[in-house]
C-alpha cells in the first residue's frame, strides 16, 4: 500500500527468469535428431534420399536430381545458399556415393512395416556388413565414391579401395556428415588446397581454370644468331620487338628455293641465265678454235702411209724456196 494506493512490485517479480543452458543430454538428443534427418533426407530439398546420392566436399548428402535442379534454377533461395555455402557450383563439385544396399529380410520387413529409415533402403558396409547411419561413423573415398565404415578404412594400410582397387590419398577419405570439429576443419582445408590447384572436390579440373602449356615461361633460343625471345604464356601475346625477331628468325630458317636447272648452283635466276649464256659462247669459241687448229696444224705432221709431194722439199725448213738446177 503506497501513496497512490497501489502495490509496489518487487524485483523478483519484474526480472524474468534467465534461459537455462541446455544440458549435455539435450545437446546429444538434438544432434541425434539432426543426424537422423540428414542421413535420411536431402540437404537441399528435404526429400527422402534415393539413389543416386551425391556428396560435396563437406560430407553432406544430396539427391542428384535436387543438385541438378539447384544448378539450373535462375533464383536460388537463401536457405539453399546457406546449406551449400559456395561448395557446389557444378556437378564436378560433388561425388556420387556408392552405398552397399542390404536386400535381406530385415530391410524388407522394415520397409513393409513402415519402420526403419524413411528412404526405404538399408545401407551397410560392404566389409563388415554393419549398418551405416547416424549411430555409426561412415566415410567414402574420392574419386571412386565407395562408402565404408570408418574403422575399416583406418585398419587398412594399403591405400586402395577394397571394392574397385582404385588408389586414393589419405586426405581423400571423406567422413559422411561429420560432427567432430577436427574433421570439419580438415575438409575445409582440403577444399581450399584443391581450389588453389585448380581442382574440384571430385579431383577434376575446375571450370575456368587455365591449363598451363608445356614449356611455358621458358626462353626459346635461336641458334643461328643467339637471340632469345620470351613468350608471354599468360596473355598469349608478344611484344612488337618479339614479333620482329620472330619474323627475321623465320626468314632465316626458311629453306631456300632450289636453283633453276643448268644454273651451276647459282641461286639468282638472272645471274644464272647470264652465266649460262657466257658459258655457251665460250664453249662455241673453243670448238671453232679447235677446228681451226686442226686445219693449220695437220699439214705440219705427216700422215702414216702418205708420200710427200715432190713439189715440196724434204723438210719444212726449205719450204717455199726453189732450188736451182745444176
- Tens of pLDDT, residues 22-44: 888 888 888 889 999 999 999 99
161 and 228 in one domain?
Answer: no
Query: What is residue 236's predicted lDDT score, i.e. its pLDDT?
Result: 45
172 and 119 in one domain?
Answer: yes
Q: What are phi and psi of 272, to 5 degrees?
A: -65, -40
- Give, rounded to a whole angstrom, the gap between the first and last alpha carbons of the chain: 205
Average pLDDT over residues 227-256: 51
**Residue at which a domain ends, from 161, 196, 231:** 196
Name which residue leads in pLDDT, 230 or 241: 241
Instruction: Tell me the pLDDT band of 109, cut-offs 50, 70 and 90.
Output: very low
Q: Would you state the cell numbers that stand for residue 297, as one nine-digit string?
A: 696444224
Q: Would you state the cell numbers that stand for residue 201, as one nine-digit string?
A: 572436390
128 and 272 in one domain?
Answer: no
Check pLDDT > 70 for residue 87: yes
Query: What is residue 203's predicted lDDT score, i.e. its pLDDT?
Result: 94
Check pLDDT > 60 for residue 113: no
Q: Which one, of 122, 134, 128, 171, lies nearest residue 148 by Cα?
A: 128
- Check: CB of residue 191 under 8 Å from CB of residue 87: yes
Name which residue leads in pLDDT, 287 or 166: 166
SS3 (DSSP) at 123: strand
- Check: CB of residue 228 under 8 Å from CB of residue 219: yes
Instruction: Tell me the pLDDT band of 112, cut-offs 50, 70 and 90.
Output: very low
Residue ranges making up the domain that contains 94: 27-196
Q: Which one, of 103, 143, 102, lies nearest residue 126 by Cα?
A: 102
Query: What is residue 218's predicted lDDT score, i.e. its pLDDT?
Result: 45
Average pLDDT over residues 280-308: 66
Residue 207: inside a domain, yes or no? no
Q: Would you state the cell numbers that stand for residue 131, as one nine-digit string?
A: 549398418
36 and 167 in one domain?
Answer: yes
Amino acid at each position: 500500500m503506497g501513496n497512490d494506493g497501489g502495490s509496489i512490485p518487487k524485483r523478483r517479480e519484474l526480472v524474468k527468469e534467465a534461459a537455462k543452458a541446455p544440458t549435455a543430454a539435450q545437446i546429444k538428443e538434438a544432434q541425434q535428431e539432426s543426424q537422423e534427418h540428414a542421413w535420411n533426407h536431402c540437404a537441399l530439398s528435404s526429400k527422402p534420399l534415393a539413389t543416386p546420392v551425391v556428396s560435396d566436399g563437406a560430407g553432406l548428402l544430396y539427391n542428384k536430381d535436387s543438385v541438378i535442379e539447384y544448378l539450373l534454377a535462375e533464383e536460388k533461395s537463401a536457405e539453399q545458399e546457406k546449406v551449400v555455402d559456395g561448395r557446389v557450383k557444378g556437378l564436378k563439385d560433388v561425388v556420387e556415393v556408392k552405398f552397399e544396399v542390404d536386400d535381406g529380410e530385415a530391410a524388407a520387413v522394415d520397409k513393409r512395416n513402415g519402420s526403419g529409415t524413411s528412404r526405404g533402403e538399408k545401407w551397410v558396409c560392404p566389409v563388415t556388413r554393419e549398418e551405416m547411419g547416424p549411430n555409426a561413423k561412415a566415410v567414402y573415398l574420392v574419386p571412386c565414391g565407395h562408402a565404408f565404415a570408418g574403422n575399416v578404412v583406418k585398419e587398412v594400410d594399403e591405400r586402395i579401395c577394397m571394392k574397385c582397387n582404385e588408389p586414393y590419398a589419405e586426405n581423400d577419405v571423406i567422413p559422411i556428415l561429420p560432427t567432430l570439429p577436427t574433421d570439419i576443419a580438415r575438409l575445409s582445408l582440403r577444399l581450399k588446397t584443391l581450389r588453389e590447384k585448380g581442382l574440384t572436390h571430385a579431383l577434376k579440373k575446375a571450370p575456368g581454370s587455365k591449363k598451363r602449356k608445356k614449356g611455358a615461361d621458358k626462353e626459346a633460343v635461336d641458334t643461328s644468331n643467339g637471340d632469345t625471345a620470351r613468350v608471354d604464356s599468360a596473355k598469349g601475346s608478344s611484344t612488337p620487338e618479339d614479333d620482329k625477331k620472330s619474323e627475321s628468325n623465320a626468314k632465316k630458317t626458311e629453306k631456300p628455293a632450289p636453283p633453276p636447272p643448268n644454273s651451276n648452283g647459282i641461286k639468282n635466276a638472272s645471274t644464272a641465265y647470264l652465266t649460262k649464256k657466257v658459258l655457251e659462247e665460250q664453249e662455241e669459241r673453243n670448238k671453232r678454235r679447235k677446228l681451226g687448229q686442226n686445219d693449220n696444224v695437220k699439214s705440219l705432221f705427216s700422215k702414216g702411209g702418205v708420200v710427200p709431194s715432190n713439189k715440196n722439199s724434204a723438210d719444212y725448213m726449205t719450204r717455199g724456196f726453189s732450188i736451182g738446177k745444176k
